[in-house]
Amino acid sequence: MNVSRSIDLHDCTVQEAISKFLDFYNTCVRSGYRGRIEVIHGYGSTGVGGIIKQELRKYLAANTERIEQFIAGDLVGNPGVTILYPKRTLKASPQGQGSVPLLNAAQKAIQRLCVTPKVKERILTKLRGRFGDRVLLAEIGSMVQSGALEAIKTGDGTVLYKAASKSE
């Protein structure tokens, strides 16, 4: 029996797709799984390959020491997939090396502050001098949407923000 796990990245932005892939891959590795992983990204409507496919393969090529093997689906008759066998967890890399975005300064500050849950006003009070309310509010929203920050609603309706725990 050929054991395989798969993840479908259709309907994601490139950033969402890479982030979702990294979470999935690292969860597999941390659980001890070393079998086949099939990444379904589509082949792109242009015929030359979709941007998710291109960026994912560029990222994998830059991280071959952490992957046992990866096979472009084109070689097995399906250009809409990439097949890989994991070895070690993958890390987000600087932009331009796999195009996985790093947290910006405001996001890093929010993440550090929210190791323990904080209300939005506390985040603004502590960090507004460095970044301003508008930037902080936008980054809080972005981080909640990407999963980097959890919004926790308490019984009285208060919303607390806590950095998502993602260990390497």
Indicate which CATH number applies to the domain containing 140.
Answer: 1.10.10.10
Domain with 132, as residue range(s), is 105-163
Structural domain contains residue 168: no
Q: Are residues 71 and 32 in the same domain?
A: yes
Is pLDDT of 162 > 90? Answer: yes
- Biggest CA–CA distance in the chain, Å, is 59
pTM tops 0.85: no
- Does residue 34 form part of some domain? yes
Dist CA 30 CA 89 (whole Å): 7
When pLDDT is averaged across residues 46-71 and rounded to a whole number, the result is 82
Dihedral of alpha carbons 38, 43, 49, 55, sign: negative
Give 105-137 pLDDT, tens digit per residue: 788 899 999 999 999 999 999 999 988 898 899
Q: Is residue 99 part of a domain?
A: no
pLDDT at residue 96, rounded to an integer: 41
* 12 and 80 belong to one structural domain: yes
Total number of domains in the chain: 2
CATH number reported for the structural domain that contains residue 10 in this entry = 3.30.1370.110
Asked if 55 and 112 sit in the same domain, the reply is: no
Q: How far is CA 126 from CA 91, 101, 147, 152, in A?
A: 29, 25, 22, 20
Identify the domain boundary among 86, 118, 140.
86
For residue 53, pLDDT over 70 is answered with yes
Q: Please check whether residue 129 lies inside any domain of the structure.
A: yes
Domain-embedded: residue 92? no
Residues 78 and 109 in one domain: no
Structure tokens belonging to residue 21:
């892939």
In three-state secondary structure terms, 83 is: strand
